[in-house]
Structure 1
Amino acid sequence: MTNHGKKTAGLWTLPFAVVLLLAAGCGTQRAGAAPGASLSSGPTPVGTPVAAPSAPADFPCPGESSAPPAPTAATGSGPDASPPDHYAENHAFRIPLRLHGQSRCDGLAAEGRVKGALEPLRRRGDFTPGHVHGALTGLGYPAGKVRTYQNGPTGVGFLIDIGASPWCVEGMLNSGSTTAEAFGGYPDGTGCEPPRGGH
């Protein structure tokens, strides 16, 4: 009986040794490191730049007089930076996503069409949500995707859900101006409606 126990132990020893041998050679190269660099060189030092995902390329759109503005760098980085603003950090989910590339150009074109359709109402002093809704649906936007609302005695706000993953135009018509801004929804995926909640 003693021999049977030794045979079983011997059968498990060989596969276990092979697994250990193979595992010893795995994982010795750090991701992004040059071939031959090993994990034994220690952790990445603090402050070492890490490759960031590439930002979508923006280019001048038709009718733009200059190149698009460069994205602003996040504040609060660097050795002498003050602590981050936690209110802004906790409410970042309410900041609309910017459009980039061809979507940005399409958004600028939509902004121009919306302003052009609403400007005659502004000049006439017609600040009725129903008339603003009619002007926007007259551009071909589905009635169910256009929301208008009264904003003070001489102001009408609007929100258009273009419906392209999402793609939205929001703005205001009042006695002083007509504004429109295209954006790509919100980070939490609620579409064109501003998300509710927060900290």
Structure 2
Amino acid sequence: MTKIRTTAVRSGMLPVAVLAVLVAGCGSQRPGDTTGAGASSRTPAATPSKPADFPCPGESPTPTPTPSASASGRAVPPTDHYAENHGFMVPIPLHGERRCEGLAAVGRVEDALEPLRRRGDFDPENTRSALTALGYSAGNVQSYQNGSTGVSFLIDASPLCVEGTMNLDSTEADAFAGYPDHTGCDRPSGGH
């Protein structure tokens, strides 16, 4: 019996020791305290800077701002975590010189496809041929029928991606830098 009582006393001491450490805290500095001559003991964390966008050739001096997730003015994240859970499907925007390369690629693609659109030629193979004629490898160009009078396309010229559509009304393309947590230019179907 004595052995059981000793074990009970020893096991009861562990929570008391843990409680004593928690009450004492870890260190004597509290929020708002300063170290030395008014300097903080912590080094400031590097704030990520937004890459500089400058006017590209043929563009006005003030580039068009890219739409942001907070365009509605809400700074509070959604409570259902939809945006967080689907962030892997949001294309990475291009900045700096890559942005200019993307705009130039978009212009070339739209110019190459516009004659097909005016003729009403929405055959995915003809679209693909027009895009490979620009110098893109046939293995990196995908085109799909998009309704009876439309075509969707994707060019994987990694690290530059160009995707778009062509229909009776217009030819539109967009360039981006791929997707987070994913290699290649095709839209990922699952995240982490």
TM-score after normalising by structure 1: 0.69
Residue of 120, 123, 128 corresponding to 1:128: 123
Per the alignment, residue 150 of structure 1 pairs with 145
Q: Which has the higher contact order (CA 8 A, sep 6+)?
A: 2
- CA distance, structure 2, for counterparts of residue 84 and residue 177 of structure 1: 37
How far is 1:69 from its partner?
3.2
Per the alignment, residue 9 of structure 1 pairs with none
For structure 1, the 5+ residue unaligned runs are: 1-27, 44-48
Residue of 168, 188, 192 corresponding to 1:195: 188
Residue of 54, 75, 94 corresponding to 1:59: 54
How far is 1:99 from its partner?
0.2
- CA distance, structure 1, for counterparts of residue 134 and residue 77 of structure 2: 48
- CA distance, structure 2, for counterparts of residue 92 and residue 181 of structure 1: 19
Per the alignment, residue 181 of structure 1 pairs with 174
For structure 2, the 5+ residue unaligned runs are: 1-28
Per the alignment, residue 95 of structure 2 pairs with 100
- CA distance, structure 2, for counterparts of residue 189 and residue 147 of structure 1: 18
SS of 2:107's equivalent?
helix
After TM superposition, where is structure 1 displaced by more than 3 Å over at least 4 residues in a row?
A: 33-36, 69-77, 81-85
How far is 1:66 from its partner?
3.8
- CA distance, structure 2, for counterparts of residue 61 and residue 169 of structure 1: 17
Per the alignment, residue 11 of structure 2 pairs with none
The one-letter code sitting in structure 1 at the alignment partner of 2:151 is V
State whether residues 76 and 84 of structure 1, in contact with CA within 8 Å, keep that contact through their aligned partners in structure 2: no
**CA-based RMSD:** 2.9
SS of 1:131's equivalent?
helix
The one-letter code sitting in structure 2 at the alignment partner of 1:87 is Y
How high is the sequence identity, in percent, across the aligned residues? 61
SS of 2:60's equivalent?
coil
